[in-house]
Amino acid sequence: MRFKLLLLYPISVLALFGLISVLKINAASSSDILVNVVPPNPAPYENTNINLNSYAYNLDSVLISWSVNGKTVASGTGKKSLSISAPSASGETNVVATIYLPDGVVETDITVKPSVMVLLWQANDSYVPPFYRGKAMPTPDSEVKVVAMPEIRSSSGNVSPENMTYAWKKDYTNNVDGSGYGKNSFIFTNDYLDDSNNVSVTASTLDQKYSSQASVDIGIAQPKILFYKNDNDTGTIWENALADGHKIQESEIISAVPYFISPKEIMNPTLVWNWFINGNRVTLTSLRKNLIPLKIETGTHGKSELKLEIDNQDKIFQTTSKEIGVEF
């Protein structure tokens, strides 16, 4: 009998150690809880939703308690989500979700740190006249440049935009060639079939701990022409564009100004200027094809149709025209 007892003892010890090992394997851990923050990179004071999910446990049947910066703000069975307001640009909010699982209590820490991203864009080859207060708009086949200006603060201070990686998307499609380390600008040529383009970017620190995201919709305009009166002494009178029915006194020089056409050098030979009066082609001898001199013969009165067509030989979808009636 003594021999049998000695033989059973080590078996019991082995069984006990085996039980402890199994319990450790099945013990709940924070890795069993999936956290989804929407939006993942909130702007300052933006409403932010935090959602919990798990493939290992049914979170609908367990008690979940939420605390924000150390203060309990919500608690309840199946309380899997929490909505908070993101802090200021320089602040951060610490959220702790305490989940009371059958296998133990699990705490999940979430840090909400807002990010600021400004996207600036310009049409590189779109013409606007001097002193124009508006923005040069892209037209079909225009080259557009987008510059990202992220503001990300890490534990050591502000991160330089030059020391970040950028993931660019155009119309929701990843652009591998335009993405990478230090590539805070993105250049693309729009398509004549599109009315607008969506450009988005995610800027991330090298350790991937901090990121910022933004997107912008860039509309596509059509080139247009406006007529102005040109004065021999003061040049183009920009205050008022000439409207239909403009009255000409004796002699006058009319200046045609194209908006949003490329190239920016409007005297470039790729732009062909065709003037018409009452449907008849007018040939100008001056090198400045945007100016047409008009002179009224003494004793004549009436109305004529003045028309200009500008053909872009490189970009056929940037051809434009303008016609007004002039009285004399």
φ, ψ at 166 (rounded to 5°): -125, 130
**What share of the chain has pLDDT > 70, as a percent?**
90
Q: In 103-238, which ranges are E strands?
A: 104-112, 116-123, 143-151, 153-154, 157-158, 164-170, 173-174, 180-181, 185-189, 196-205, 211-219, 224-231, 235-236
The CATH number given to whatever domain includes residue 131 is: 2.60.40.10
Shared domain for 129 and 76, answered yes or no, is no
What is the DSSP code (8-state) at residue 159?
P
- Rounded Cα–Cα distance for residues 228 and 20 (Å): 90
Of the three residues 204, 219, 234, the one that is the final residue of a domain is: 219
Whether the per-residue pLDDT at 235 is higher than 90: the answer is no
Of 112, 132, 148, which residue sits at a domain end?
Answer: 112
pLDDT of 3 above 70: no
Domain end call among 112, 133, 155: 112
Query: What single-letter DSSP state applies at residue 14?
Result: H
Against a cut of 0.85, is the pTM above it? Answer: no
Two structure tokens written together for 266: 């409007």
**What's the pLDDT at 115?**
79
For residue 7, the model assigns a pLDDT of 35
pLDDT of residue 16: 26
Query: What mean pLDDT do residues 181-187 have?
Result: 96
Mean pLDDT over the full length of the chain = 86
- Whether 212 shows a pLDDT value over 70: the answer reads yes
Domain coverage including residue 262: 224-327
**Is residue 198 located within the same domain as residue 240?**
no
Contact present, 294 and 269 (Cβ < 8 Å): no
Alpha-carbon distances of 328 from 82, 167, 183, 245, 252, rounded to whole Å: 73, 60, 58, 9, 11
* Position 17 pLDDT exceeds 80: no
Residues 205 and 247 in one domain: no
pLDDT, tens digit (0-9, with 9 covering 90-100), for 85-135: 999 877 889 999 999 999 899 999 998 888 789 999 999 999 999 888 889
* 166 and 187 in a common domain: yes
> What's residue 28's pLDDT?
65
DSSP run (H or E) holding 3: helix 2-26
Verify that 323 and 243 share a domain, yes or no. Answer: yes
Q: Quote the pLDDT of residue 30.
A: 66
69 versus 12: the higher-pLDDT residue is: 69
Contact 86, 112 (CB under 8 A): yes
Strand ranges in 20-127 using DSSP code E only, listed in sequence order: 34-38, 47-53, 63-68, 71-77, 81-85, 93-101, 104-112, 116-123
Instruction: Assess whether 251 and 209 both reside in one domain.
Output: no
Same domain, 240 and 212: no
Mean pLDDT of 196-210: 91
Q: Could you count the other beta carbons within 10 Å of the beta carbon of residue 212?
A: 25
